[in-house]
Structures are given as structure tokens and as C-alpha cells.
Amino acid sequence: MAISFKLVAAALLVSFLVCHLSLAEEADIVDASQVSTTSYSKINCGGECRRRCALSRRPNLCHRACGTCCARCNCVPPGTSGNQKLCACYYNMTTHGGRRKCP
């Protein structure tokens, strides 16, 4: 009886460690060079959204959505698309339909 209890406890411990390690590998790690030093000051949303929406097929829609997201999050990801995980607030904003709000 004592051996089976120890075996179950060991199996649970090993499974917990495996799950923890697999989740740790999936997590995005941001180094200090990717963190904006101006995160506490207000950014120029108009300029940042112009840059972000420069290649958009629907620039008016892109500017409107980006402006809303920038005003709420004070952050716009680098580049013209993608990289949304660098701004957590920007990345997590969704529409009522569950789609990503921010371009």
C-alpha cells in the first residue's frame, strides 16, 4: 500500500514538472531591448498609426482601429503587421465577435 502511494505521488510530481516545463518553453520571453523606454509617457498615436497602417488595403479602417487601440493601450507594435504580442494590451483587445480588434 505504501509503495503504490509513493508511486502515485511520484507520477503526479513528474507530470506536474513536465507540464510546467512545456508551458515555460511556449511562453514568449521579451528581452530588455524590446521593451519601450517611453511606456510611461504618452506616445504620438497619429504618427504611430500612420506607420502601422502604411501598407493597409483599408487605411481608414486601419487608422480608426489603431487609434482606438493606441489610445487605450499607449502602445503600437513595431512594423506594419504582426508583432502584436509585444504590446499585450493591443494583442488582447477583441471585437464583440471575438476577432482581434487592433491591426
Q: Is 94 helix (H, G, I), strand (E, B) or coil?
A: strand
Q: Are 102 and 90 in contact (CB under 8 A)?
A: yes
Cβ–Cβ under 8 Å, residues 53 and 77:
no
Using CA atoms, how far apart are residues 52 and 68, in angstroms rounded to an integer? 13
pTM for this model (two decimals): 0.56
Average pLDDT, the chain: 78
Per-residue confidence band for 90, with pLDDT thresholds at 50, 70 and 90: confident
Q: Does residue 41 register a pLDDT over 80?
A: yes
Mean of pLDDT values over 46-62: 94
Determine the pLDDT at residue 32. 43
pLDDT number for residue 3 = 72
> Using CA atoms, how far apart are residues 24 and 89, in angstroms rounded to an integer?
21
Q: What gap in Å lies between CA 15 and CA 9, rounded to an integer?
A: 10
